[in-house]
């Protein structure tokens, strides 16, 4: 029997998140989204309050006092938080995924040193920094040219690594207390075996946030440019093997749920656009009946519901599959692509449904549209993720396979 029932704890976490999203995040985001200065919009009270409710440390392993949540639980809670606000949800969600990545890459001594620090500080959120001015998709679809891609360089000097370089667009940049950084430890070879990961605290000497980007959406979280000028990292803060950070990144994206959680958070935006539209559709009268008295508009809402349900099913099943040895890796990428494209389509339908009111900043729909657009590019562009997923397509059926069609072979031969 296939069981689609959530566990009691998953339902409980979803309820905690729903209450937090509606009571705390929505009012905070309504203010923060309108603040012009991107350095002034972040609301720390939301993080502190979320931390007290156990939401910040969702993926900290249980033996260190956290929830030890799996990818599916994060997808459920992430969607619910993003229902409140996508940017603030990203502040939490980045922390969960990087936490999982650290817990998988770090040795016991590192976990014993870093996890209690993260656990005990209500303001400790995390960031992961790969993207650089000249290395964006080249990190996601690894550029095989020697020396291409990431240029931030870590040089070994005695028992320290010395980092120099620039990262940009980093979520939680300027907010995080701990950064997971990917740097080259080999300048001459292709990236695959040349990147090493480090943990760098925000107060490291020589580390500077030089720009907080002004964005269309996700205005309630910061995306920063980070500069490293001779930043010294003790060798005990190198995480994972030298030269093996890129395979670890692939794990972060796929098995540890980064893509799935990205899709889940943007799904929360779509769900909110739908719920608000449902309410509006009953309240707004045109043609002497509520909007939803018109069949055309009923169809619109039904199509929105279909895309939301399809995204959720795809994301949850893929999240569940991350525990399988033989998980189908392409689904991690494609479920994010599907959910983010669907969310943009749902928001566009909502814009149409609300008429001019949807376009007005006083009303909630235009913000959702701006927010939804961010995940077409964040966590890997949809084009590049689809390109990568295509590399995992199955082998074609062979002559002795049940599904082999002789007619296909004939057609391919031009007959
Ligand atoms: C809101 C937001 C949050 C982000 N947060 C983080 C973060 O926390 N950490 C981090 O490291 N990065 C982060 N990023 C950066 C993000 O991962 C990159 O923007 C993304 O990988 C694309 O890189 P790029 O913007 O340089 O685009 P480019 O790589 O310059 O791509 C430009 C266009 O070319 C296409 N393209 C590129 N290469 C190929 C190819 N080989 N074949 C076909 N088409 C190609 C792309 O699909 C895209 O359409 C964030 C971005 C955003 C928007």
**CA–CA distances in Å: residue 97 to residues 100, 253, 262, 352:** 5, 9, 10, 35
Q: What is the pLDDT of residue 4?
A: 87
User: How many C-beta neighbours within 10 Å does residue 155 have?
Assistant: 14
Residue ranges in the chain whose pLDDT is less than 70: none
Q: Is 128 in the pocket of ligand 1 (CB under 6 A)?
A: yes
Any atom of ligand 1 within 6 Å of the Cβ of 131: yes
pLDDT score recorded for residue 113 = 95
Tell me, what's the pLDDT at 248? 85
Is the CB of 374 inside a 6 Å radius of any atom of ligand 1?
A: yes
For residue 257, give the DSSP letter. -
The β-bridge partners of 208 are: 227
Q: Is 171 in the pocket of ligand 1 (CB under 6 A)?
A: yes
Atom of ligand 1 nearest to the CA of 171: 8
Beta strand 178-184 with 223-234 is unpaired
Q: Is 384 in the pocket of ligand 1 (CB under 6 A)?
A: yes
What does the alpha-carbon distance between residue 77 and residue 62 come to, in Å, rounded to a whole number? 17
* pTM: predicted TM-score of the whole model, two decimal places: 0.97
pLDDT at 3: 84
**Which bin fits 123, alpha (ψ -120 to 50), beta or left (φ > 0)?**
alpha
Check if 137 has its Cβ closer than 6 Å to any atom of ligand 1.
Answer: yes
Q: Which ligand 1 atom is at minimum distance from the Cα of 377?
A: 53
- Angstrom CA distances, 208 to 176, 231, 335, 383, stand at 12, 10, 35, 32
Q: Which domains does the chain have, with CATH numbers?
A: 8-124 (1.10.540.10), 127-245 (2.40.110.10), 254-390 (1.20.140.10)
Dihedrals φ, ψ of 282, to 5°?
-90, -25
Quote the ligand 1 centre to 380 CA distance (angstroms): 5
| Residues in contact with 241: Cβ distance below 8 Å, sequence separation at least 6, in sequence order | 196
Tell me, in angstroms, the distance from the centre of ligand 1 to residue 213's CA: 15
Q: Decide if 322 contacts 255 (C-beta within 8 A).
A: yes
Tokens 């400790």 -> residue: 124
């Amino acid at each position: 029997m296939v069981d689609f029932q959530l566990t009691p704890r998953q339902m409980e976490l979803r309820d905690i998140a729903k209450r937090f999203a509606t009571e705390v995040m929505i009012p905070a985001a309504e203010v923060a989204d309108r603040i012009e200065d991107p350095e002034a919009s972040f609301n720390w009270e939301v993080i502190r309050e979320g931390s007290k409710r156990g939401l910040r440390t969702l993926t900290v392993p249980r033996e260190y006092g956290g929830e030890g949540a799996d990818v599916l639980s994060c997808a459920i809670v992430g969607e619910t938080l993003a229902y409140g606000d996508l940017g603030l949800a990203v502040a939490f969600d980045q922390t969960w995924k990087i936490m999982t990545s650290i817990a998988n890459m770090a040795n016991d001594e590192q976990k014993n040193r870093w996890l209690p620090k993260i656990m005990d500080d209500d303001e400790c959120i995390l960031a992961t920094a790969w993207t650089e001015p000249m290395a964006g998709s080249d990190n996601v679809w690894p550029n095989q040219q020697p020396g291409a891609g990431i240029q931030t360089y870590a040089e070994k000097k005695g028992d320290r690594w010395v980092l120099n370089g620039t990262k940009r667009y980093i979520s939680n940049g300027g907010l995080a207390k701990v950064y997971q950084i990917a740097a080259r430890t080999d300048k001459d070879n292709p990236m695959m075996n040349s990147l090493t990961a480090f943990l760098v605290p925000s107060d490291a000497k020589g580390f500077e946030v030089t720009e907080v980007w002004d964005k269309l959406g996700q205005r309630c979280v910061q995306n920063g440019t980070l500069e490293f000028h001779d930043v010294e990292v003790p060798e005990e803060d190198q995480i994972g093997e030298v030269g093996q950070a890129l395979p670890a990144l692939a794990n972060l994206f796929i098995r540890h749920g980064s893509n799935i959680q990205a899709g889940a958070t943007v799904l929360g935006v779509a769900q909110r656009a739908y719920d608000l539209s449902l309410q509006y559709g009953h309240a707004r009268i045109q043609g002497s009946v509520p909007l939803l008295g018109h069949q055309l508009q009923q169809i619109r809402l039904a199509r929105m519901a279909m895309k939301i349900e399809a995204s959720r099913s795809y994301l949850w099943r893929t999240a569940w599959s991350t525990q399988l040895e033989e998980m189908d890796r392409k689904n991690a990428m494609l479920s994010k692509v599907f959910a983010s494209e669907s969310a943009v389509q749902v928001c566009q339908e909502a814009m149409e449904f609300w008429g001019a009111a949807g376009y007005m900043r006083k009303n909630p729909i235009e913000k959702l549209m701006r927010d939804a657009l961010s995940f077409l590019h964040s966590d890997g562009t949809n084009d590049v993720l689809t390109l990568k997923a295509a590399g995992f397509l199955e082998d074609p059926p062979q002559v002795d396979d049940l599904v082999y069609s002789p007619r296909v072979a004939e057609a391919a031969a031009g007959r």
